[in-house]
Amino acid sequence: MSHGLRIAVIVLLQTLALAAMIALKQRTLDTGTPIVLETQPIDPRSLFSGDYVRLNYAISTLRLDQPGSDQDFKPHDRAYVVLKPGDPYWQPVSVHHQMPALAPGQVAIRGEVQYAGDSLWNQETRTSEKVRNLRLRYGIESYYVPEGAGRALERPAAGEKISLRVAVDRAGAAGIKAVLVNGRERYVETLW
């Protein structure tokens, strides 16, 4: 095989790999179950990436005292969080090492354990509670927005609530479909 043909094959394989990654993300957005998650946006600016919103979800830190949850998690473990519909946000039911059987109307979102601990700060009582808990990442912790829009999402006006519509596929993979302000779409994600 000539040198030029080898380079062409390598470039073709790399292009196909990138196209497959985009197609898989688009498949999740198109076929996944749409859910709405409560967020707490932070750090909206990167000198290299432009404006973005770093997201922290209400389901990013979970207590393991829910019935049916697995207990023996370590950092970097895969975890599946079972969610049920709530009004307006989806709520955690349990956390598992493997994809669990789901009841009708439930979804399982796949995450990676960042931290597993035995105490959790309670904002209401301002005390530390002795409870097994996890800090998780789902791969949807940042969202790029048009130039100049990051600060508006980081510091919403009085009475504004930022949430996200996320698509979760059958394997637990998640992708951001839309940023919502007071339940209305502000930014809609399209890959194509």
| Residue 120 pLDDT | 83
Q: Among 33-42, 97-106, 143-152, which stretch is predicted with the lowest mean pLDDT?
A: 143-152
Q: Is the pTM higher than 0.75? A: yes
| Four-residue CA torsion sign, 78, 108, 20, 186 | negative
- Sheet of 142-144: strands edge to edge? 45-46, 50-54, 142-144
Domain ranges of the chain: 1-57+138-192, 69-83+94-135
| Residue 138 pLDDT | 96
Spell out the residues 6+ positions from residue 1 whose beta carbon is closer than 8 angstroms to its own. Answer: 9
Q: Detail the DSSP E strand segments found in 1-60.
A: 33-38, 45-46, 50-54
Taking only the tens place, the pLDDT of each residue in 153-178 is: 766 778 888 889 999 999 999 999 99
CA–CA distances in Å: residue 161 to residues 35, 99, 134: 16, 31, 25
* DSSP annotation of 100: P
Nearest to 45 by CA among 155, 137, 140: 155
